[in-house]
Structure 1
Amino acid sequence: MPRVIYFDCFSGISGDMALGALLDVGVSLDALRAMLQRLGVGGWELHASREVRGPLAGTRAYVVAPEDHHRTLTNICALISAAPLPPAVVERSIRIFTLLAEAEARVHGTTVDQVHFHEVGALDAIVDIVGVVAGLDLLGVEQVFASPIPPGAGWVRSAHGPIPVPAPATLALLASVGALVTADETPFELTTPTGAAILAALATFRRPPMRLRAVGYGFGARRMERPNALRVWLGDMDDETDDDDQDRQDRTSAGHSSSGGSSPVLLETNIDDQPAEQIAYVTERLREAGALDVWCTPIMMKKGRVGVLIAVLAPADLEDQMVTILLRETTTLGVRRRTVERYVCERDIITVTTPLGPARVKRKWWRGELIGAAPEYEDCARIARERGVPLMTVYQTVMRRLEDASSVTEY
């Protein structure tokens, strides 16, 4: 089951609120500091403290760093790319800053190359953004979701002088992804450009069904009459939780997806003029947005050009969102679509206790018969990192212990 997180922005979102919420939900402060030290930039400190705001207990995180501004997107991307960070952390962090640069360029009527970051180019903002992405990686989060956003109202100071709230860059970021915005007009900046960029780059704006594992609260600096907090829900989402109740009933009985409105949609498009790394980015975005599966197939196109067929299997209610991603993120001029029917095995999750630590295993059933089992990658990868053993060894150990019924617990 993919690990997912839901940003419940009942009082907005900022970089420090997101950091605090991730620490509150289980990220190790020491592990996060160690990850951020890989940036190779000194002079900053990351602090966190437990606080109580009104009825809520949570974590306040804040970065102490010297004031340094006026970095360009090129400067920041070079800094992050040179750091020995996990590839997903590098890619997601650069994506956030790229969206920020595009928003600033639109607001100021310039180009991305000419944008000089001010507040969001400072070292504390870089630590905030990379820290949030690193925290998601440490939690093993594969998909990010978010609630509608309350932007706030009033005025706020900036390097360009007083600007209206929501800040122009915040609105540009939220508009770029069609984010849902609430009618909350609290006379403060509830959602900052940093917070908006994190969600615009990483999140799908809906609340997913999930098996809830933990809840965390991250507090902002401002003291308000109501709790100035960001809540995160951490959980696991089955591959098919986006299907509706009828489709789920079909799977648990005959194992056949219905031919009615719940049938998933297959979207396809051919690409022959786009770099491979951009295709990889598109497939990641589609999965994050809720696709059931995404795959690419090499094809031969006209004039002997080698191309790739991108195929997306998606829940019917997400079809428009998937088509939008394909049209915006690729060079294609059109997308083919058709509904499909499926035979889908029932699945359950068990936990196997091994000498290396507990790991989840997904079991596959067909009409009441157990026909397969596979260890969960995230659990095995975590054990391999913590124990310093090969990933293959962890897989083999889990499968051997799976045969011992005493080592298994259901949940």
Structure 2
Amino acid sequence: MKIAYFDCPSGISGDMMLGALVDCGVDLAAIQAGVDSLGFTQINFSATEVKRKGFRGQKVSIDHPKEQAHRHLHHIVDKIEASTVLTPAQKDLATRIFTCVGVAEARVHGSTLRKVHFHEVGAVDSIADIVGSAIGLSLLGVDRIVCSPIPVGTGFIEIEHGRVSVPAPAVAEILKGIPISPSAVPFELTTPTGAAIVATVADEFGPLPAMKIRSIGLGAGDRDLKEQPNLLRLIVGEVDEHLLSDQVWVLETNLDDISGEVIGHTTTKLLEAGALDVYTTAIQMKKNRPGTLVTVLCSPELIAKSEKILFKETGTLGIRRWPASRHKLERRAHNIITPWGEIQGKLAVLSDGSLSFSPEFESCKKIAAEKNVPLKDVYDLALRTWGEASPS
């Protein structure tokens, strides 16, 4: 599986995305040809290697005549659909990115998707950024895209509607539900174009996943920031096709004034609520008091529910949390027939393509009770039966 990771410590914009794609080997001429097919005149892409805070990066610039056009979504989509150069996948991705912006603009201005008109994102350079990025991402040919939490910057910017704080209203709307990282840089680091691109294409947000790195591209922003390199880093790598990946959240809290019964009750409630796993660790806390570390693994949508249970049941005053990238084997349910009856379990596909069988505890426990035999004997029988039946 081929994975792309967007590392955006200085935010993300359309030109930074284009620069990172070109620096990763995407042909700028192919992007130029695709954008030319939209029917706009005199749009010219150029790529130059620049330095940002001492680090190299690719700066993609777009030259075009000045204009005052305010376009609606359907005007842009019509041009995309009329192209005879763009592939169906590129048309679809570009349209989805523009629609992401349109939905945000409509919400911010109290309008409808049909009536809202684009300001900055409707300009020729922003259209070129979005369509060019759609082309570049298609040519990159990755199976999965992961992105780091996104900094937006701080301060104020001037837009068509006047002076607004960072993040601009449309950017904040687009990034709803997406993790934002803190940044004290006094500029707009993430633009509506950049936010819409990553919100549309990213499969998950979090740390760099495990992979074998094949290429790295660096896209430079306009400014050379005083605080840090103004670069977007695109890391492309590969993982074993039998390994699946996703993102989970880790929640932790330290407890030193609570009974074991309450901890056990809390663990049960967390698992019943849908936590992927809950476990405890004996720790030594301040003043040499023995304590318990409670760790919860859960999906992003269960963070609030899990924290509510921890606060309510344990009385803890604080919970630490962070995202974690997880690799897991492909697995599926599988039952085997033994002399003592049917036993449920799971098959896992290992990295070499071979299969591994794990009996389910509850199924083995039921057989052990029915046959009045030790639980370990049921496990042994299940694994032996699987080994005899498996071709491997």
Same fold (TM over 0.5): yes
Q: Residue 5 of structure 1: SS of its match in structure 2?
A: strand
Structure in which a larger fraction of residues adopt strand = 2
CA distance in 2, matches of 1:137, 1:243: 21
| Partner in structure 1 of residue 347 of structure 2 | 343
Q: Aligned AA for 1:44?
A: I
Aligned-pair distance for 1:157? 1.5
Identity among equivalent positions (%) equals 44
Q: How many residues align?
A: 263
1:35-46 aligned at under 5 Å gives the runs: 35-46=34-45
Aligned-pair distance for 1:77? 0.9
Q: Aligned AA for 1:151?
A: V
CA distance in 2, matches of 1:62, 1:15: 10
2:34 counterpart of 1:30: no
Q: Aligned AA for 1:89?
A: Q
| Partner in structure 2 of residue 112 of structure 1 | 113
2:78 counterpart of 1:74: no
CA distance in 1, matches of 2:71, 2:299: 38
Aligned-pair distance for 1:240? 4.0
TM score, norm. by length of structure 2 = 0.62
Q: Residue 121 of structure 2: SS of its match in structure 1?
A: helix
Aligned-pair distance for 1:185? 2.3
RMSD, aligned CA: 2.4
CA distance in 1, matches of 2:50, 2:28: 16
Report the more deviating stretch, 9-18 or 227-236.
227-236
Q: Aligned AA for 2:78?
A: A
| Partner in structure 2 of residue 270 of structure 1 | none
CA distance in 2, matches of 1:47, 1:163: 31
After superposition, the Cα gap between the structure-2 partners of 1:135 and 1:62, relative to the gap in structure 1 and judged at 3 Å, is same
| Partner in structure 2 of residue 231 of structure 1 | 233
Q: Aligned AA for 2:6?
A: F
| Partner in structure 1 of residue 244 of structure 2 | 242
1:262-277 aligned at under 5 Å gives the runs: none
1:146-194 Cα distance to aligned partner (Å, 9 max, x none): 100110111111121222111010000001xx11011212110000111
| Partner in structure 1 of residue 174 of structure 2 | 173
1:186-241 Cα distance to aligned partner (Å, 9 max, x none): 11000011110011111121233222111111111112112111111111233443
Q: Residue 59 of structure 2: SS of its match in structure 1?
A: strand
8 Å CA contact 1:24–1:59 kept in 2: the answer is: yes
1:332-374 Cα distance to aligned partner (Å, 9 max, x none): xxxxxxx8464344446xxxxxxxxxxxxxxx4569xxxxxxx
1:11-410 aligned at under 5 Å gives the runs: 11-68=10-67, 69-84=69-84, 85-175=86-176, 178-203=177-202, 204-206=204-206, 207-225=208-226, 226-242=228-244, 320=301, 340=333, 342-347=346-351, 364-365=353-354
CA distance in 2, matches of 1:127, 1:52: 24
After superposition, the Cα gap between the structure-2 partners of 1:136 and 1:243, relative to the gap in structure 1 and judged at 3 Å, is closer
CA distance in 1, matches of 2:230, 2:194: 14
Aligned-pair distance for 1:48? 0.6
CA distance in 2, matches of 1:319, 1:107: 26
8 Å CA contact 1:10–1:149 kept in 2: the answer is: yes
After superposition, the Cα gap between the structure-2 partners of 1:227 and 1:365, relative to the gap in structure 1 and judged at 3 Å, is same
Q: Residue 343 of structure 1: SS of its match in structure 2?
A: strand
